[in-house]
Amino acid sequence: MIVDKLPPRIQYAYWFQAFNAVSWQICLGSPLILFARELGAPAVVLGLLAGLAPLTSVLQLLVAPYAERIGYRRLMVSGWTARVITLMVLVALPLMVDVLSPAVVIAATVGVIFLFTTLRGIAMCAWLPWITAIVPRSLRGFYLSRDRAFISLASVAALAVSGLFLFDHRGMAPYSIVFGLGFLGGVVSLYFLNRIPEPPLLRREQVERTQTRAGAGWGALLRSPGFAQLVLFSATAQVVVLSSGAFVTVFAREEVRLSDGAILWATAASSLVGAVALALLRNRIDALGSRPFLGLVFLWWVAYDALWLALALSPTRSPLLAIATLSIAGFFGSIYDLALTRLLMNTVGDQPETTRYFALHSVIVSLLNGVAPMLWGAVLDWARSVQVGVADLLLNGYSLFFALQGILLIGVFWSLLRVHEPNAASTRQVLRGAIEQAPRELKRRFQLRR
């Protein structure tokens, strides 16, 4: 019996992901949104900043048919090196506020992030095909759980340190320091990227067949069994749930009155509990399948939206409830990312046009996710002046925002029902197993300590 093993030097992939996470968590995440808001950027601009990364991912469609010919390593290293260089400008921008008007700095920030995400969009189509080629099918869930754990723990460190600099800060210099940490994280990530194992070499005739099939049309890929249904679900989830993160951050800051540092520490706690979720799933997801855990995540999304709606409707908004909700979200966010990525890898990873499948999925989902934050931002700007009475409740801008999200979750549930995975357990089985096993596990650990 042949036992699959992870390739040697795979630890470099983990470390690349960790330091890369430090870079994007700072330069595309909450610190960037908070910096733009500090400059007075409206919600539409915040939506644009949140949406640039997914929008520019469409460039994958231009590069994906030639990724094998260019080489996964060459494509990734070239794109990521140029991407890191652009962050030097972002580091300087907070220091330019005394020289340039806030509007000019906001425009320059948008320009830098556009260039940064464009370079990312060109290169990123090589990453998942590279990893799929070197990680055996039976170990992809195990690999991804470790991979995401490194990302989560690196995010904890990045956000905790960022929160320390931005907690009750004065002036813009702390933002420059934080963006500098993101730049350094990107530089270190390049060291590890260059040491990841090479994927198996494709024979010349295989590459030529891939080039020939690339002209057959992208639509033909959507007829592959299971792929279209997975695209539909992930796209719907991105638009309805995952595209609203920037506005949840703004709500916590402006309505719940959390400080910038408190928000970043809550986000860091979210990454920490996400690492716990990954540890729990490491030896389970390959056996149970991805789909039951996607069902578990959907149940959380319902509760998550209800909690934010309750906060928006409450006259006394509890900071502790907001921090707890932001923190717990990381547990289920990590489960979603792990389960979806594993299911995608196993659905299309053995197809001849692997790179094109990954690129098409990423582009469809990302375009919708790029448009959605701008639309949500426009809706929120409009809803600020609207009040709607429902029974004894008065719905204002944010409560209307969260109520609409709750309604749209029906569409997410419908798309989830269409996703199939052979030999996977059900969500009910996973929940029942967790409820039955948890007391026994706690009892066993208590006895061991005694």
Q: Assess if residue 210 is contained within a domain.
A: no
DSSP E strand boundaries for 272-404: 388-390, 393-395
In a domain, 450, yes or no: no
Q: What is the pLDDT of residue 203?
A: 46
Q: Are 412 and 298 in contact (CB under 8 A)?
A: yes
Q: Spell out the residues 6+ positions from residue 288 whose beta carbon is closer than 8 angstroms to its own.
A: 424, 425, 429, 430
Length of the chain counted residue by residue: 450
Closest CA to 233 of 401, 56, 121, 364: 364
Burial of 201 (0-12, 13-18, 19+ CB in 10 A): exposed
Using DSSP's 3-state secondary structure scheme, residue 389 falls into strand
Could you tell me how far CA 247 lies from the centroid of its own chain? 15
pTM flag (> 0.75): yes
Range of the domain at 264: 11-199+228-441
What are the b/e assignments for 412-429, b being 16+ CB within 10 Å?
beebbeebebeebbebee
Question: Exposed/middle/buried for 130, CB within 10 Å: 0-12, 13-18, 19+?
Answer: buried
CB contact at 8 A, 58 and 363 = yes
- φ, ψ at 8 (rounded to 5°): -65, 150
| pLDDT on residue 373 | 78
Q: Check the CA dihedral 131-137-138-140 and report its sign.
A: positive
DSSP state string for 138-161: GGHHHHHHHHHHHHHHHHHHHHHH
Residue 28's identity, in one-letter code, is L
A 10 A CB-CB count for 218 gives: 17
- CATH number of domain containing 46: 1.20.1250.20
Dihedral Cα 79, 85, 90, 91, nearest 10 deg:
140
Residue 238 forms part of a structural domain: yes
Report how many domains make up the chain: 1
Determine, yes or no, domain membership for 334: yes
Residue 38: name the closest of 161, 179, 158 by CA: 179
Residue by residue, pLDDT tens for the chain (450 residues) are 445 788 888 999 999 999 999 998 898 888 898 888 888 888 788 878 877 887 888 888 888 888 888 888 889 999 999 999 999 999 999 988 888 888 999 999 999 999 999 998 888 888 988 998 888 888 888 899 999 889 888 888 887 888 788 876 677 888 999 999 999 999 999 999 999 988 766 544 445 555 445 445 677 788 777 888 999 999 999 888 888 877 888 888 888 888 877 887 887 788 888 888 888 888 888 888 899 999 999 999 999 999 998 888 887 788 899 889 998 998 999 999 999 999 998 888 777 778 888 888 888 887 887 788 778 888 788 777 666 665 566 667 788 888 888 999 999 999 999 998 888 888 888 888 777 665 665 555 445 555
CA distance 338 to 333: 9
- The β-bridge partners of 390 are 393
Distances (CA, A) of 382 to 308, 374, 386, 441: 19, 12, 7, 51
- Nearest to residue 310, comparing CAs of 395, 412, 207, 194? 395
Helix (H) or strand (E) holding 390: strand 388-390
- How far is the C-alpha of 378 from the C-alpha of 380, rounded, in Å? 5
Answer whether residue 447 is part of any domain.
no
pLDDT of residue 450: 52
Q: Tell me whether residue 3 is in a domain.
A: no
Q: Which residue has the tokens 């920030």?
A: 109
